[in-house]
Amino acid sequence: MQAAGQAATQQAIFGFRDFSAESKTEAKFLTVPDPKTAGQVLKLLTAEPHLAATPEDRKNVDYIAQKFRAAGLDTEIVPYRVLLSRPKSIQVEAFDPAGHNILSGLTPEQLPGENNQPGSGSHDPRVVAAYNASSASGDVTGPVVYANYGRQEDFDRLAAAHIDLHGKILLIRYGKIFRGVKVNLAEQHGAAGVLIYSDPQDDGDAKGEVWPNGPWRPASGVQRGAVQYLFRYPGDAETPGIASTLDLPDSARVSAERDEPHIAAIPISAQDAEPILRAIKGAVVPDAWQGALPFRYHVGPGEVSVHMAVKMDYERRIIWDVIGKIKGTQYPDDWVLEGNHQDAWVYGAVDPGSGTAAMLETVRSIGELVRKGWRPKRTLVFCSWDAEEEGLIGSTEWVEDHARELKRAVAYFNVDIAVSGPNFSGSAVPSLDRFLREVTKSVPSPLGSTVYQQWKASKPPETERRGPASAQNSEDVEIDNLGSGSDYSAFIQHAGVPSTDISSEGPYGVYHSQFDNYAWFTKNADPHFVYLQQMARELGIEALRMADADVLPLDYVTYAKQIAGYIDAARAKASDAGMASLNFLPAKEAASRLNASAENVLTQQLSATGDLPRLNAALRQTESALLTDAGLPNRPWFRHPIFAPGEVTGYTAQVLPGVNEAIDARDASLAARQLVALTQALDRAREALDSAH
């Protein structure tokens, strides 16, 4: 087959770029999502603070379930009993060498001119004080050390400067890596406690106008967030690997102490960090450590001490997932899933309200197709997760609860921070890279042309939540790998369900703060809700195309080639680390065998003849065949040998995690064992593909 002809045929298989019934269904669907309707839903969802397991959260759960049922979905509300933390009291004080108080307490989030009385301005008495979920309780006093972003390289630099961190309070700025990793590294280095603040350089006035005049974080803004050690396992901390159902006996639960922080962590604003940073002495920080506050930063310790006291209330609380299904006509046991979480730290207009509003508009629009007689070939499952913010809990418990059914799941499509601006961004497992690009070619952009063309024309901004770009055609749009930080994690990294995650991004300085509200959204993110419409369309085409595909559009040729590239990179890394004797050849040969099988199966995909159920089963089983029963070293919940969140990054994807992290640890024996496990996983995947014949 000539290259041009093959490319056109591949586009037909992976993109339905023809005049089939599928594309006609998609054309009908695209006319339904409505910006005004999505905006009305967003306003209702964000009217009240709705932290997980609160009455306001339950109110939104009931509303989402009602919307599912109105669209014709078979809907259930699924409860789980999980360990959640709430702050009883939080206190931070700072003192100069003479004992004078330079910070007497934390400033409430408020805009200039507000008096912080109930009912005034942005204040709402139902807003829970800013805290770090999963923080330990503690009452400690110590000298302060500034640790920049709290990355491994930052701690290495402090160690090289012979700064002892035992018993110190670390002041760390948000950004670059997951906050739980910052706390874990601080704990490993002997710190007594951690204050995490938002520096204006990263999301405040150094970026531009702050809210209410612009999109960036005002001085009193605080980034809440969980510090659970998600890189070990997400979900309920007492039930790793099993679902925390209401009838689960206490005897089946484990202590959460081993994998939870043992030191207190408190998020604070730039406004409250400023007097502490100003008073710290010691060595002047390197230029790369300097933030945007108007004075030179110092490392410490000395000159300033901090007293921090945290009392946390840990209780088993009820959370609720909402699950809605449209049963497939031909393959009812093959599920195509879409999900977003409904809980928020406060009002959550961007995170997650924009995702929920977009998904509900997708559901409403697909419901219109159902009302007119259309039914999917595969079962569509729409999911609204709870307690994502505390550690991806609702989605993880549900995945653990439905492990058997998910062996037949075809794909999971995630959306979280759906809209914070106009720049589309996508992440996916490599088998869905081509599929995701093709979907964006079918969805119109509010800027004109298609989402794909706008995506290609402007490189999306870097964000904390995204992983490193996949090895791919540099002339095409970049699709990131899946790390962690959202609800796709359990699907791909524990259950082996091919997954994507999409968003439309822009300047977003109010992440996890009280200011992420409807007013901010309508001024800065999407005033006319046209990007909510775009994301509803994008989600809908993903679902429709996968549900009705005669041949599953899973591309293992691209996947195998990327894995081969990852192996080459790991081999070079090992050589640089003085571990050149490691034998990468078996893994590289296994990747070549997988590629050869994928090329053979691609021929079957292109012809779309023969035993299609058998072909589709082989395509679906290939991803889960990669999973290892033993999981990754020291974190067995993560079973995927190709992708996992990095142990020292958290959000960012680590490719070949078992191999690369063993190389980082200079453990040649472990690296060799992980190479064997990788080779075996690749051969299992190849065997799964070969079963298509």
Mark whether 441 and 541 lie in a shared domain: yes
Task: Give the model's pLDDT for residue 459.
Answer: 62
* 613: its two tokens: 């159920």
CB atoms within 10 A of CB 540: 28
| Structure confidence by residue, pLDDT tens digits, 550-572 | 999 999 999 999 999 999 999 99
- Domain assignment present for 328: yes
629, two tokens: 């029963």
- Is 255 a member of any domain? no
Which residues on neighbouring strands pair with residue 396, listed in sequence order? Answer: none
**Do 432 and 425 touch, CB atoms closer than 8 A?**
no
What confidence category does residue 468 fall into, taking pLDDT thresholds of 50, 70 and 90?
very low
* Same domain assignment for residues 489 and 438: yes
Q: What is the pLDDT of residue 210?
A: 97
Residue 458's CATH number: 3.40.630.10
**What are 111-164's pLDDT values in tens digits?**
876 554 433 345 688 999 999 999 999 999 999 999 999 999 999 999 999 999
The predicted structure's pLDDT at residue 224? 98
Residue 465's pLDDT is what?
35
Q: Which long-range contacts (CB under 8 A, 24 or more apart) does 597-602 make?
A: 597/556, 597/686, 597/689, 597/690, 598/555, 598/556, 598/557, 598/559, 598/560, 598/689, 599/557, 600/689, 600/690, 600/693, 601/556, 601/689, 601/692, 602/10, 602/555, 602/556, 602/557
Name the domain boundary from 494, 527, 548.
548
Residue 640 placed within a domain: yes
Residue 22 in any domain: the answer is no
Kindly state the average pLDDT of the residues 594-602.
Answer: 96
Q: Which domain holds residue 520?
A: 34-83+317-548
525 in the same domain as 587: no
Residues 542 and 611 reside in one and the same domain: no
Domain assignment present for residue 190? The answer is yes
- In this structure, are 383 and 532 located in the same domain? yes
Residue 477 pLDDT exceeds 70: yes
Write down which residue in 548, 575, 600 finishes a domain. Answer: 548
**Selected catalytic residue, list 238, 388, 389, 438:** 388
**Is residue 19 a part of any domain in this protein?**
no
| 91 within a domain of the structure (yes/no) | yes
Report yes or no: 27 and 320 within 8 Å, Cβ to Cβ.
Answer: no
pLDDT at residue number 510: 98
DSSP characters over 455-479: HHHSPPPP-TT--PBPS--TTSPP-
265 and 136 belong to one structural domain = yes
270-280 per-position pLDDT tens digit: 999 999 999 99
Q: Which amino acid is at 417?
A: I
Q: Are residues 526 and 571 in the same domain?
A: no
Number of domains in the chain: 3
For the CA atoms of the chain, what is the radius of gyration?
A: 25
Provide the CATH number for the domain around residue 672: 1.20.930.40
Are residues 449 and 581 located together in one domain of the fold? no
Two tokens, residue 85: 């933390």
Q: Is the per-residue pLDDT at 335 higher than 70?
A: yes
Q: Which of 313, 336, 351 is the last residue of a domain?
A: 313
pLDDT digits (tens, 9 = 90+) for 624-680: 999 999 999 999 999 999 999 999 888 889 999 999 999 999 999 999 999 999 999
Regarding whether 185 and 45 lie in a shared domain, the answer is no
Tell me: do 417 and 563 sit in the same domain. no
CATH of the domain at 95: 3.50.30.30
* Domain identity same for 128 and 107: yes
Q: Please indicate, yes or no, whether residues 71 and 134 belong to a single structural domain of this protein.
A: no
- pLDDT of 220 higher than 90: yes
Query: Other C-beta atoms within 10 Å of 393: how many?
Result: 34
Residue 517 domain-assigned (yes or no): yes
Is 405 assigned a catalytic role? no
